[in-house]
Amino acid sequence: MTARTLVKQLAAQPDGPVSVSGWVETVRDQKKVQFVVLRDESGAVQLVHPRTDVEEPGTDPLATAISALSAGTFLTVIGELKHDERVKLGGLEVKIEELEVAAAALDIPIADDSSIDKRLDWRFLDLRRPEQNLVFRVQTTFLHALRTWWVEHDFIEIHTPKLMASASESRAELFEVEYFETKAYLAQSPQFFKQMAQPAGFGKVFEVAPAFRADPSFTSRHATEFISVDAEISWVDSHEDVMAMHEQLLVAGLTAVKEKHGAEIEATFGIEVTVPSLPFPRIPLAEAHRILESRGYTVPRADGDLDPEGERRLAEYVKEQYGHEFVFVTDYASNIRPFYHMRHEGDAGLTNSYDLLFNGVEISTGAQREHRVDVLVEQAKEKGLDPEELGFYLDFFRYGVPPHGGFGMGLNRVTMLLLHQPSIREVTYLFRGPNRLTP
């Protein structure tokens, strides 16, 4: 039997016998000839069958089989490949000789213009769209480039538990689950566990894994389960060391995406992938407020944190002034940062921390961590946390730990903003939100 050839490989094949497998996208059943567009995971190809039953309908079994094909049917076709520049779809076609249906399909219940909620109800069908295929190939390339950069820079990959005995950040956003005779919590982040690698002497670690937030938000950027990209490094002098690592990592990821998918992204989404220059712009939070106010916008949040509109407007300023899609907003106030962020030396009201904005949306938070246990205990108390419940975490720091820092970054947000998609739902394989647990 002829080995299967992917559609993307056909252009390099000589004219002659070929076998292709995929699903039916369209059928054009004309009087003298039939055309089928077959799509697989790599692209689409035109199949053709000149009918032999024009004079005597029903006498061509292959024509009858093609007429019965429904969109979405998976099949294998053996035929003759022919390169023909007149064929609009790829400049080649396959003349059908044999056709074997692997699985017939019912009528597809969604269309390209269906609402996002309806498409998510039928996500396995929605994912057949070429643009969705591209989204996840881009994400694969991006993550592979990140991992390659980490490994080449001597990072260790870790896999931390997602069931926790206590909160890693805020109890307000915890999912509580039954755990035998007690309660457990789904991890909001790997924060405590990636910090544990520092007294363990691992030096530099990373993880790509799910995280969970019981946040009842219905915005385009929020999900209750998401993929968190995390890194933590020892022997930092400040959050500047973390930012330097973070920006180099992103340049590596975006370079790989542009090289492998740049042309296809531009053809599909009308977007030119830009590899950012180094270093990324850095703007302290207080200065960000002054910039926004000088441009007629006052952030309404009482705690001083940037709101989505403030982020968008600051990104516009950075684009105008620096021609850059990224900006680090640094030196956040301690009242809006977790207890484990290190405070400024001489100014406990500020932290050695940052948020990273990409195309006007926050994608990451990073910081230098506080590694002095007595200071950590006091900062936890300030946040209303019980040091007794943090016992296992605080023990990390009682037996020696180097100065360290790291970041957590939302993969789906990065993908959404890279491809200029309207919602995180479009770039999440199976989205989870306050009112969605299926499929």
Query: 279 and 312 in one domain?
Result: yes
Residue 343 annotated as part of some ligand binding site? no
Check if the beta carbon of residue 275 is closer than 8 Å to that of residue 258.
yes
Q: How far apart are CA 154 and CA 352, in angstroms?
A: 25
Residue 10 annotated as part of some ligand binding site? no
Residue 365 annotated as part of some ligand binding site? yes
pLDDT at 168: 62
Q: How many domains does the chain have?
A: 2
For residue 439, being part of any structural domain is answered with: no
First-residue to last-residue Cα distance in the chain = 37
For residue 358, being part of any structural domain is answered with: yes
Query: 381 and 306 in one domain?
Result: yes
Rounded to 5°, angle at Cα 264 from 259 and 267: 135
Q: How far apart are CA 165 and CA 163, in angstroms?
A: 7
Sequence-ordered alpha helix ranges (H) in 153-238: 191-196
Q: How far is Cα of residue 417 from the mean position of the Cα atoms in its chain?
A: 9
pLDDT at 172: 72
Which CATH number characterizes residue 197's domain?
A: 3.30.930.10
Structure tokens at 293: 């106010």
Query: 151 and 18 in one domain?
Result: no
Query: 393 and 295 in one domain?
Result: yes
Residue 213 annotated as part of some ligand binding site? yes
SS3 string of 241-259? Answer: HHHHHHHHHHHHHHHHHHH
Q: Which of 51, 69, 103 is the last residue of a domain?
A: 103
pTM reported for the whole predicted model: 0.95
pLDDT at 171: 65
Backbone conformation region of residue 116, classed left if phi is above 0, alpha if psi is from -120 to 50, else beta: alpha
The torsion angles phi and psi of 35, rounded to 5 degrees, stand at -120, 140
The torsion angles phi and psi of 64, rounded to 5 degrees, stand at -65, -40
For residue 307, being part of any structural domain is answered with: yes
Residue 412 annotated as part of some ligand binding site? yes
Query: 290 and 364 in one domain?
Result: yes
Backbone conformation region of residue 331, classed left if phi is above 0, alpha if psi is from -120 to 50, else beta: left
Q: How far apart are CA 121 and CA 123, in angstroms?
A: 6
For residue 289, being part of any structural domain is answered with: yes
Query: 97 and 152 in one domain?
Result: no
Query: 68 and 27 in one domain?
Result: yes
Burial class (CB in 10 A: 0-12, 13-18, 19+), 229: buried
Residue 391 annotated as part of some ligand binding site? no
Ordered per-residue pLDDT tens for the chain, 439 residues: 679 999 999 999 999 999 999 999 999 999 999 999 999 999 999 999 999 988 888 899 999 999 999 999 999 999 999 999 999 999 999 999 999 999 999 999 999 899 999 999 999 999 999 999 999 999 999 999 999 999 999 999 999 999 998 766 666 789 999 999 999 999 999 999 999 999 999 999 999 999 999 999 999 999 999 999 999 999 999 999 999 999 999 999 999 999 999 999 999 999 999 999 999 999 999 999 999 999 999 999 999 999 999 999 999 999 999 999 999 999 999 999 999 999 999 899 999 999 999 999 999 999 999 999 999 999 999 999 999 888 889 999 999 999 999 999 999 999 999 999 999 999 999 999 999 999 9
Q: For helices 130-152 and 411-418, what crossing angle results, to 10°?
A: 120
**Sign of the C-alpha dihedral computed for residues 330, 336, 339 and 345 taken in this order:** positive
For residue 1, being part of any structural domain is answered with: no
Which CATH number characterizes residue 59's domain?
A: 2.40.50.140
Query: 170 and 211 in one domain?
Result: yes
Residue 169 annotated as part of some ligand binding site? yes
For residue 91, being part of any structural domain is answered with: yes
pLDDT at 389: 84
Query: 226 and 85 in one domain?
Result: no
Query: 133 and 99 in one domain?
Result: no
For residue 2, being part of any structural domain is answered with: no
Query: 305 and 276 in one domain?
Result: yes
Query: 134 and 99 in one domain?
Result: no
Neighbours of 403 (CB within 10 A): 18
Burial pattern 219-228, b for ≥16 Cβ within 10 A else e, equals: ebbbbbbbbb
For residue 265, being part of any structural domain is answered with: yes
Residue 369 annotated as part of some ligand binding site? yes
Print the domain residue range for 71. 7-103
Structure tokens at 391: 């016992």
